Amino acid sequence: MTSQRWASETVDAYVVGFGRPDLLWEQKRLIDKFCPEIRGICVIDNTQIHPKGMENTCLQLGVGYMRTPGGSSLHNDALNHAARLARESDARYWITLDHDVFPRRPVTLIDKIGSAGFYGIGQTHPPSQKKYLWPGFAAFDQRWLGERIPNFNGIRGERKRDDGDCGSMLHSLFTDDDWARAFRPEHGYGVIRPEDGYGLQSHGYEFFDGWLHFTNASNWMDVPKPLDRDKMLRDMIKQL
């Protein structure tokens, strides 16, 4: 990698899109408005039902489009494909984004990545206490990575209950010194409707620095009146 000729000081974004082409319109609009460091977007599509909708949207928006190899619907397979693409790219900086992550005000990435070679939301695998980046917002400096390719699989424990979430295998990239140097983002939660016993995936959303995260846009968790929740969130980002 020492002979790598890097592209200009910009960031490539790899978006894992699952069945919500409508969100891509808003994500692209808000990135263009608030995060000019992102020079290009490539959607890695793991949609299983009506994938043509996502492909056609990418064509209309002028963003890259690829299906997950083998037609896999798994999040980690899409992310690992993104990591391989990034390794072959001429971009020094890159980020993986979930399809329901949006900038909400002017933001920068490269200065924050520069603190330690990576930037994102730290999470911990409870059984092992190993720390990793949440893969829905994980940015890297390819020069810091060198020959390493991030592994977005989940840790597998001796018992099923000890398995880690998608991305927990990223822990192998980081040392304690790396975490000590890393930029620590502002982080919190917002509320869009009264608590109903189903948790954040029903009544709220997450924010970090100048970004927000819907948390349940693919409806992976059943919650009361999901269409109402979805409309509230879409109305919110349309105002940005």
What whole-number percentage of the chain has pLDDT above 70? 95
Report the top-level CATH class of 11-185.
Answer: alpha beta
C-alpha to C-alpha distance for 201 and 229, rounded to whole angstroms: 9
Give exposure, 62-71, as e/b (b: 16+ Cβ within 10 Å): ebbbbbbeee
- Span 123-131, mean pLDDT? 95
User: Which residues fall within 8 angstroms of residue 52, CB to CB, at 6 or more apart?
Assistant: none
Query: What backbone phi and psi angles, to 5 degrees, belong to 200?
Result: -60, -35
What whole-number percentage of the chain has pLDDT above 90? 73
137: helix, coil or strand? strand
Give the chain's end-to-end CA distance (angstroms, integer): 39
Give tens-digit pLDDT for 69-84: 888 889 999 999 999 9
Q: Are 32 and 26 in contact (CB under 8 A)?
A: no
In the chain, domain spans: 11-185
pTM higher than 0.85 for the full model? yes
